[in-house]
Amino acid sequence: MFVFSAIERIVYGQPAAHALRAEAERLGAQRVFLVVSGTMNRTTDEIAKVRDELGRRYAGLFDRIPSHTPRDAVLGAAREARAAGADLIVTFGGGSVTDAGKMVQLCLQHDITDVDSFDAFRVVVNPDGTGTIPDFDAPMVRQIAIPTTLSAGEFHAEAGCTDNRSKVKHAYRHRLLVPRVIIFDPAPTVHTPLWVWLSTGLRAVDHATEGLCSQFSNPASDASSLHALRLLSHALPRVKRNPDDLEARLDCQLAAWLSVAGRQGGVKMGASHAIGHVLGGTCGVPHGYTSCVMLPHVLRYNRPANADRQRLVAEAMGHPGEDAADVIAAFVADLGLPGRLAEVGVEREQFAVIAANTMRESLLHVNPRKISRPEEVLEILDAAA
């Protein structure tokens, strides 16, 4: 079964501000509230362009979303959006900003005004893989996303939001949490730090790789994942060589889209994503770095279960007959990105907590090679140390 998402439009290759104005007009929005990257707002004129294009439709702005979308920052954004009478949320920034927009939608719909109230809406996963997904009313105030990284969270009907107190990142899921419109404009992304662009590009490689190697793969997801890997293996090195190459940047954006297209068909990621979520929420590792570090080691762990699928990954990346884990590890190194947990500040003393928290990640329990004990997660972490 292939269920199409609630995304209405994907606009690409147009100036973001112009495209946003056209979409706001189409949707009849009168009070557009922006949740944006603080760096983008303070050091470039990209957000000012958006404000100017919106004109009287502009209702306000919030630019204080830290990495991994902590609850208290979401509450601050929701408070200001509520006071502004927002009828449309626009996010302009990376994955944490995109997730913040989704969470603001949730807060506005359900009048969430304190950190404890988030608990009633989060996905609960038990260590054995069982759990619950709360059923709640869909948001009435929806979102347009203008992403400036390649983590592709804008395509998911799910948000990640970190509980500041426990340092655990929880998932929130509803079909209408996904943005109504996604706008890809490569021009503003030249302001994204190069390490962020390249590492979130590895996040897209991770999406495509775990999707292609998933036991739930389907013909449509295979096609999109393979083409995503082809594009990324060429476009990311081009951007590294010439950060002003907008054609290569747009190829990266389109590849990020393709890397997650299979999720609509029920494709599920695996242990690289599961461990990565915990490395982010618990240890503060940037989204992209989690994939740089974990993906090769998860592939090696999973090789007994899906060696045939892994061969497709290596072939799509231009290395037929080679080991996929080695191909991706070399690709990470060639881009100048970290490949070990020690390089991203994660120490062995943290492994036990990481393993225990990962057991509560739903994607761990659909990994191609079954993982049912924390010790098996520790085996992967030890390899990546």
pLDDT score of 267: 87
The last residue of one of the domains, among 137, 171, 187, is: 187
Residues 119 and 13 reside in one and the same domain:
yes
Q: What is the pLDDT of residue 287?
A: 85
Which domain does 250 fall in, by range? 194-384
Enumerate the H helices of the chain as residue ranges.
Answer: 16-27, 38-43, 46-54, 71-83, 95-110, 194-212, 219-241, 246-260, 271-283, 287-316, 324-334, 351-358, 374-384
Single-letter amino acid, residue 369: R
How would you write the pLDDT of the chain (385 residues) with one tens digit per residue? 677 889 999 999 899 999 999 999 999 999 999 999 999 999 999 999 999 999 999 999 999 999 889 999 999 999 999 999 999 999 999 999 999 999 999 999 999 999 999 999 999 989 988 999 999 999 999 999 999 999 999 999 999 999 988 888 999 999 999 999 999 999 999 999 999 999 999 999 999 999 999 999 888 899 999 999 999 999 999 999 999 999 999 999 999 999 998 777 688 899 999 999 999 989 999 989 999 999 999 999 999 999 999 999 999 999 999 999 999 999 999 999 999 999 999 999 999 999 999 999 999 999 999 999 999 999 999 999 9
What does the CA dihedral 175, 221, 339, 276 come to, rounded to 10 degrees?
20
The string of DSSP codes covering 172-200 is EE-GGGS-SEEEE-SGGGGGS-HHHHHHH
What pLDDT, on a 0 to 100 scale, did the predictor assign at position 197? Answer: 98
Q: How much is the pLDDT for 5? A: 85
pLDDT at 1: 65
C-alpha radius of gyration, the chain, whole number: 20
Is residue 1, in this structure, part of any structural domain at all? Answer: no
Last residue of a domain, one of 187, 207, 223: 187
CA distance 247 to 13: 9
Rounded distance between C-alpha atoms, residue 78 and residue 83, angstroms: 8
In a domain, 166, yes or no: yes
Q: Are residues 241 and 169 in the same domain?
A: no
**Is residue 169 a contact partner of residue 68, using CB atoms and an 8 Å limit?**
yes
Given 187, 204, 238, which residue is the final one in a domain? 187
How many other CB atoms sit within 10 Å of the CB of residue 190?
A: 17
pLDDT at 4: 81
**Predicted pLDDT at 39:** 93
Q: Do residues 271 and 175 both lie within one domain? A: no
- Residue 278: give its domain's CATH number: 1.20.1090.10
The predicted structure's pLDDT at residue 32: 98
Beta strands at 124-125 and 131-132: parallel, antiparallel or unpaired = antiparallel
Are 168 and 257 part of one and the same domain? no
Q: Tell me, what CATH number does 38's domain have? A: 3.40.50.1970
Q: What is the number of structural domains in the chain? A: 2
Instruction: Give the H/E segment covering residue 117.
Output: none
